[in-house]
Amino acid sequence: MSLSLSADQPAVPDDADDGVWLECIECGETFAPFDDIRYTCDECDGLLEVRYAELPTFDDFEGHGVWRYADALPFDSGVTIQEGATPLYEVPSLEDDIGVEALRIKHEGMNPTGSFKDRGMTVGVRVATELGVDRLACASTGNTSAALAAYGSRGGIETLVLLPAGKVAAGKIAQASLHGARILEVDGNFDACLDIVQELAGQGEAYLLNSLNPFRLEGQKTIGLEILEGFLADYDTVPDRIVLPVGNAGNTSALYKAFRELVQAGELAEGDVPKLTGVQAEGAAPMVEAIENGADEVMRWEEVETRATAIRIGNPVNAPKALPGIRETGGTAVAVSDEEITEAQRDVAGEGIGVEPASAASIAGLRKLRREGIVGDDERVACLTTGHLLKDPDAAAAAGADPESVPNDLDGVLEHLSE
Ligand code: F0G
């Protein structure tokens, strides 16, 4: 099986519930969606996707935010704090400077907890209530934990988060803490945290809400749907390319799924699907390595390091969904240095938009690909910025100017300003 853009709408299996079922992307086995808890295929351990008997068209969407797209989701409503409907900013100076036909920034930092994770959690926690679980858990580089803590407490379910000790930005830990999650700091990196939490979930200790959970990716599809609707409204066409930071490759997989479903519904021509273009930090770039080598699988990097701690990930668990997404859409993947990331963070800040380092990777990647001629000057591009500047105040302060000390009197201040 492969996740092809030209796949036909599948037949509805007997185990579908109200036209919704789970299907293994490797062997095609199908499962009832809410009878049992499972994250991967019972038969072959492959990743699962949510399937629908009926796929919506743009005309079916109404309302505001993630739940505008209810017809593309397994439920009509969820545990919500008004996620989605994020700005698609114009950035004229950056557009000129990078040299593309059009550049827009989809700023997911404007979600309730300051990252795109809220879109997945509004659906994922809704599913958890359907399943009747009493504890939620995730491994996280920070943003997932902040979102899970908020949506877990909103949904009245206990939340456990496993974080790599010393490698999570201050704003994110503060959120998880205040929203009442139990925070376990693991002496290891994100991938080690995910290994442990998967075992915990496997033993029934908690319901896993990392992006391995297929329902979370359903919520994240709405990023792609919003970008397309925004471009159609402003340019009367969808973007040529969407550039996004890659960690576990959940968003890459989710956007690809959104586009495949639009193609199947006859709403988007195969040739018009935006080129999915992933960006990683040089110190954590297993996905880029696989794309560059034309490999079928991503090899796990045991050692990873980058200032962009959100994407300090060596084992992108959604790679089997994301690799076809990048290839089938004609996209690519590129690695950028920490210096390029910080430079891009300043560039975006110059347009008044505050993003965390991982988010700035998308702009750094676009700049690099444009310089190399891989992105053409005639392209209309959307860059995804995944998290807010305030998530990582230390990185922002380090990238910005230092405060200046002045005396406590007007003359002293005037003198200082004239220096
Ligand atoms: N950008 C930010 C700000 C993130 O927090 C993440 C992932 C990504 C990009 C990568 O997205 O996994 O869909 O490729 N953060 C996860 C977390 C791992 O735990 O918060 P992806």
Q: Give per-residue pLDDT as tens, 186-208.
A: 999 999 999 999 999 999 999 99
CA of 260 to the centre of ligand 1 (A): 22
Find, among 125, 113, 194, the residue nearest to 386 by Cα: 113
> Residue 348: pLDDT band by 50, 70, 90 thresholds?
very high
Domain limits of the chain? 1-54, 88-113+217-399, 117-212
- Taking 90 as the threshold, does the pLDDT of residue 83 lie above it? yes
Which residues contact residue 286 at a Cβ distance below 8 angstroms, ignoring those fewer than 6 apart? 280, 298, 299, 300, 301, 314, 315, 316
Measured from the CB, is residue 248 less than 6 Å from ligand 1?
yes
- Taking 70 as the threshold, does the pLDDT of residue 101 lie above it? yes
The CATH number given to 117-212 is 3.40.50.1100
- Answer yes or no: are the C-beta atoms of 124 and 216 closer than 8 Å: yes
Mean of pLDDT values over 218-228: 98
Nearest protein Cα to ligand 1, atom 4: 310
> Ligand 1, closest atom to CA 244?
9
105, 190, 386, 389: residue to mutate for ligand 1 pocket, most atoms within 8 A of CB = 386
Strands (E), 207-355: 207-208, 241-245, 275-281, 333-336
Predicted pLDDT at 10: 85
- Taking 90 as the threshold, does the pLDDT of residue 7 lie above it? no
Find, among 147, 176, 195, the residue nearest to 300 by Cα: 195
Kindly report the CATH class assigned to 88-113+217-399.
Answer: alpha beta
Mean of pLDDT values over 12-27: 96
Nearest protein Cα to ligand 1, atom 6: 310
> Residue 246: pLDDT band by 50, 70, 90 thresholds?
very high
> Ligand 1, closest atom to CA 140?
19
Give the other-Cβ count within 10 Å of 338's Cβ.
18
- In the chain, the N- to C-terminal Cα span, in Å, equals 68
> Residue 169: pLDDT band by 50, 70, 90 thresholds?
very high
- Answer yes or no: are the C-beta atoms of 189 and 247 closer than 8 Å: no
Distance (Å, rounded) from C-alpha 142 to C-alpha 179?
13
Nearest protein Cα to ligand 1, atom 12: 248
Measured from the CB, is residue 310 less than 6 Å from ligand 1?
yes
Per residue in 350-407, pLDDT (tens digit) is 999 999 999 999 999 999 999 999 999 999 999 999 999 999 999 999 999 999 999 9
CA of 409 to the centre of ligand 1 (A): 46
Measured from the CB, is residue 141 less than 6 Å from ligand 1?
yes
- Taking 80 as the threshold, does the pLDDT of residue 2 lie above it? no
> Residue 128: pLDDT band by 50, 70, 90 thresholds?
very high
Which residue positions form the known binding site for pyridoxal 5'-phosphate? Answer: 143, 247-251, 386
Measured from the CB, is residue 325 less than 6 Å from ligand 1?
no
Mean of pLDDT values over 106-122: 98
Average pLDDT value over all residues in the chain: 97
Predicted pLDDT at 45: 97
Measured from the CB, is residue 245 less than 6 Å from ligand 1?
yes
CA of 243 to the centre of ligand 1 (A): 14
Distance (Å, rounded) from C-alpha 335 to C-alpha 260?
26
Measured from the CB, is residue 387 less than 6 Å from ligand 1?
yes
Asked whether this chain's domains 88-113+217-399 and 117-212 adopt the same fold, the reply is yes
CA of 386 to the centre of ligand 1 (A): 7
Distances (CA, A) of 80 to 87, 254, 282: 19, 20, 36
Distance (Å, rounded) from C-alpha 53 to C-alpha 15?
12
